[in-house]
A and B are shown apart, each in its own frame.
Chain A
Amino acid sequence: MSTETAGAPPRARVTDRSRSEERLAWRLVAPAVVVMLAVTAYPILRALYLSLFQYRATAPDDREFLGIDNYVTVLTDPLWWRDVWNTVLIMVVTVGVELVIGFAFAYVMWKIIFARGLIRTSILIPYGIITVVSAFAWQFAFSLNNGFVNGWLPFMDSDFNWFGQHWSAMTAIMVSEIWKTTPFMALLLLAGLSQVSGDMVEAAQVDGASWWQRLYKVILPNMRAAIMVAVLFRALDAFRIFDNIYVMTRGAQNTESVSFLTYRQVIEQFELGLGSALSVLLFLSVLLIAFVLVKLFRVDLAAARRES
C-alpha cells in the first residue's frame, strides 16, 4: 500500500458508488480497529490517569492526588536512568550484532543453490521457538553447575559464574535475545537482497569491483529500505525486552530493563501510581525511538508493512 493512494478520493468524484464503497470499507475495517483499541486505548488512558496519584493497591484508601510528582520521582531516580541505559545498550548491541549475523545468513540463503529447504527450516526454528524456552536453554548453557559454555570456551575458568557479574549476565541475556531474533532480521534482509538487481552486481564485477566494493557500493545501498525496516522493528522489539530477563536473572546484577522495572512496580510492588507513570514513560520512550528512527533514518513507513 503506497501512501499516495491512501488518501480520500477527490471530492469531485464523490458518487453514490464511492460512498457505498466507503461504507463497506469501514464496515470491514471497524472490527479489527475496535479489537486493537479495546486492549490498548483504555489501559493506556487509565495508566495516564493513575499516574497522577499516590496509589498502592494494597492500601486503596490512602490514595492521594499528586499531579506530576510521580514523573518527577521517576525521572530524578538513578534506577530509572540505569535501566534506561541497560535497555538502550541491549537494544543497540543486539540490533547491531543481528544486522551483521543476519546479513551474513541472508547472503548465504540468497546465494546457496542446494539444501535450501534445510537452511530455511533451520533458520525458522529459532524464530518459532518460545522466548521463554530460549531463555531457559541459554540459562542452562551458561550455568556454572550444568552448562557447557564454560567447558567449551578455552579461555574461561570452569567455575566462572556468568550470572555473577553485570557484564557477563548481560552477555548471556543478549546471546539468548540475539539467537531468538536473528532469523527475523535475516529474513527481512533476504527480502531486501532479492530486490537487488543481479545485473547491477554483475556489471560491477565486470568493472573489476572486489567483493567488498560490490557489497558497499551496490548491494547495501540498494537494500537500504529493507535494512531500515528491519532495524526499526527489531529496535522497538529489543527495547521492550522482558522474557529473557525475567527467566535468566530477574534483574539481578543490574540487568533490569525498563519493561522489567515497570512490571516490578505494577505487579510486584502494587505501586499503581508510580508504576503507571513508568508505563506511560515506557510508552513514550517507544514512541520517541520510533520517531527518531523514522525521522533520522527516513524509514519509509509505507514500506514497513511488517511486524516482528
Chain B
Amino acid sequence: MKRARVNAGILIGAALLLIWCLLPIVWIASLSFKPVEETATGSPQFLPKTWTWDNFSSVFQNDDFQRALINSFGISIIATVLSVALATLCAYAIARLQFRGKRLVLTIALAIAMFPVVSLIGPLFDLWRTLGLFDTWPGLVIPYMSFTLPLAIWTLTAFFREIPWEMEQAAQVDGATSWQAFRKVIVPLAAPGVFTAAILTFFFAWNDFVFGISLTSTTNARPVPAQLAFFVGPDQFNPPVSTLAAAAVMVTIPVIIIVLLFQRKIVAGLTAGAVKG
C-alpha cells in the first residue's frame, strides 16, 4: 500500500520532470513551424494553426548564419581538443605526481572557474586588438580554453583517481619511463574520462555569449549565440520570432544528439568526484 503510494509519487515526479525539461523545447520547436503571421501581435496559441517549413528554409538561405554555425563548430571543437589535451597533462600530474605547488594549481583552476567573465572583456578587447586576435578564431579559442580548463581539469582528475595505477608502476618496473608508462598504459584507460571532459567542455564553448559579442565584429569569427541578434524580421525593429525559433532549433539539435548518444557519460562526468573527498 505504502510502497504503491511512493511509486505513484515517483511517477508523478518523473512526469513533472519531463514536462519541465521539455516544454520550452516543444514551445520553441512549435514556434519554428509557425508562419510569420501567426507570431504577430495577438496570436498566443501554443501550437501552429498551419505548419510550415518556411522558417527553416529562410535560415538555411541565410549565409551569415551558416558562417556562424561553421564558426561555432570550428571554434568550439578546436577549443575542446586543445583544452582537453592540456587538461589531461595537468590532471595526470595532479592525480599522480608529487610536486610543490599542487594546491596552488588547484586554487588557480578554482579561481578561474569562478571568474566573472564580464570583468575581462574591456582589457581583453584592447589586448586582442594589439595582438591582431580580435575577430579571429584564435581570439575566441584562447579564452574558451582558459575558461574550460578548470572544468576539464577537475573532471579528469576525478577520473584519473579511479584508474588502477599499479599497472603503470608495473610498466615502470618493466623498464618504461614515466612518460612511456603514461602513454602506453594510462592513456587507453583514461580515454573515457577524456571523452566526457571533452563533451562538457564543448557545451561550455558552444554556449558562450559574452566573449562572442565582445571579441568579434564580423562573420569571420562570430559564433551562433551572437549571430542570433542579426536576424531581420518583417519589420526592422523586432527579432523575427519564428525564424529565430527555427535557428534556435537548429543549434539545439547537435546538443540533443550529443545528449542522446552520451547521456551516461555526461552524467558520470558531471557527478564524478563531485563529493568524494
A–B contact at 8 Å CB threshold (below) = yes
- The answer to whether A137 and B17 have CB atoms under 8 Å apart is no
Closest-CB distance, B261 to chain A (whole angstroms): 10
- Interface segment, one of A61-69, A73-81, A142-150: A142-150
Judge whether B119 and A1 touch: CB under 8 Å. no
CB distance from B44 to the nearest CB of A (A): 5
Residue A154, interface by CB 8 Å: no
Whether, in the assembled complex, A71 has its beta carbon less than 8 Å from a beta carbon of chain B, the answer is no
Q: Is the interface of B mostly helix, strand, loop or mixed?
A: helix
Q: Which of A119, A191, A262, A302 has the most CB atoms of chain B within a 10 A radius of its CB? A: A191
Q: Taking CB as reference atom, which chain A residue is nearest B94? A: A1
- Give 1 or 0 for each of B167-197: 1 = CB within 8 Å of chain A CB: 0000000000011000000000000000000
- CB <8 Å contact, A40 and B112: yes
- State whether A42 touches B127 (Cβ < 8 A): yes
Interface size class of B (residues with CB under 8 A): 35 or more
* Bound CA span A111–B174, Å: 47
CA distance in complex: A305, B106 (Å): 9
Residues of A within 8 A of B86 (CB): 31-32, 35
Contact mask A138-182 → B, CB, 8 Å, 1/0? 101100011110111000001000000000000000000001001
Which residues of chain A in 270-285 are interfacial with respect to chain B, using CB atoms and an 8 Å cutoff? 272, 275-276, 279-280, 282-283, 285
Q: Is A59 an interface residue (CB 8 A)?
A: no
Complex CA–CA separation, A233 to B255 (angstroms) = 23
CA of A38 to CA of B45, assembled, Å: 50
- Bound Cα distance A308, B178 (Å): 33
* CA of A111 to CA of B206, assembled, Å: 32
Q: How many residues of A contact B (CB 8 A)?
A: 119
| A259-B118 in contact given A38-B146, A179-B20 (Cβ < 8 Å) | yes
B15-52 near A? 1/0 per residue, CB < 8 Å? 01110111011011001000000111111111000000
Q: Which 8 A-B pairs have the closest CB atoms?
A: A191-B271, A25-B99, A43-B123, A279-B119, A39-B146, A32-B90, A128-B255, A46-B123
Contact surface of A with B, Cβ cutoff 8 Å: 1-3, 5-9, 18, 21-22, 24-26, 28-29, 31-33, 35-40, 42-44, 46-47, 50, 101, 104-105, 107-108, 111-112, 115, 117-134, 136-138, 140-141, 145-148, 150-152, 158, 179, 182-184, 187-188, 190-192, 194-195, 211, 223, 225-226, 229, 233, 236, 239-240, 242-243, 246, 259-260, 262-263, 266-267, 272, 275-276, 279-280, 282-283, 285-287, 290, 300-308
